Amino acid sequence: MLMHITIIYPNKNYLIERIYEMSESIMEISDGSFDSEVIQSEKPVLVDFWAPWCGPCKAIGPIIEELAGEFGEKIKFAKCNVDDNPVSPGKFGIKAIPTLIFFKQGKVVDQITGMVAKSKLQQTINSIL
C-alpha cells in the first residue's frame, strides 16, 4: 500500500511530497472502520495513532513495520491518521502522538506514547499474546 504525504511549508515557497510504501501487513483504518477492524477483531490489535507532520511518528514507523513482519500472524497492526480521523483518538483521550494502543478482545490492554525502543514494543506485544 502506498501512502502519499504532502507537506506544505506556509512560510517558504516550496512543498515536499513524499510517497512512502506501507507494509502490506499494516492496515490504514478510519473512524468508520475502527470498530469493525479493531474493537471486533478476534486477534489482538496494535493501533499506531500518527500524523504525517509528526517527526517521532515517522521515526517509529519503520519499527512498527519490522514488528508487523515478526508478529503479523499473531497480532493485527493498524495505523490511524489523527488529522483525517479525529473521532477515534478522541475516544481514547489521545493528547500526543505517536500513541500506540494495544487492544485485546475489544479492550485497551496497554498504551505507549512517544518514541520507544523496539525491544520495549516487543516486550509489550509478548505480554498481551
Active-site residue 80, yes or no? no
Active-site residue flag, 54:
yes
pLDDT at 24: 66
Q: Do the beta carbons of residue 43 and residue 76 sit within 8 Å?
A: yes
Q: Indicate which residue of 3, 54, 63, 112 is catalytic.
A: 54
**Amino acid at residue number 80:** C
Backbone angles phi, psi at 68, to 5 degrees: -60, -35
Half-sphere exposure of residue 67, counting CA atoms within 13 Å on the CB side?
24
Three-class SS string for 37-98? HHHCCCCCEEEEEECCCCHHHHHHHHHHHHHHHHHCCCCEEEEEECCCCCHHHHHCCCCCCC
pLDDT given at position 93:
95
Q: Give me the residue spans of the domains in the chain.
A: 24-128
> What pairs with residue 78 in β-bridges?
27, 47
Q: Is 112 exposed, middle or buried (0-12, 13-18, 19+ CB in 10 A)?
A: middle
Q: What is the pLDDT of residue 23?
A: 54
Torsion on CA atoms 36, 40, 45, 46, rounded to nearest 10: 50
Query: DSSP character for 125?
Result: H
**What's the pTM value of the predicted model, to 2 decimals?**
0.82
Which one is catalytic: 38, 57, 67, 78? Answer: 57
Q: What is the pLDDT along the chain (129 residues), one digit of tens a residue?
A: 444 444 444 544 444 444 344 456 899 999 999 999 999 999 999 999 999 999 999 999 999 999 999 999 999 999 999 999 999 999 999 999 999 999 999 999 999 999 999 999 999 999 999
Half-sphere exposure of 102 (CA within 13 A, CB side): 17
The dotted CATH code for 24-128 is 3.40.30.10
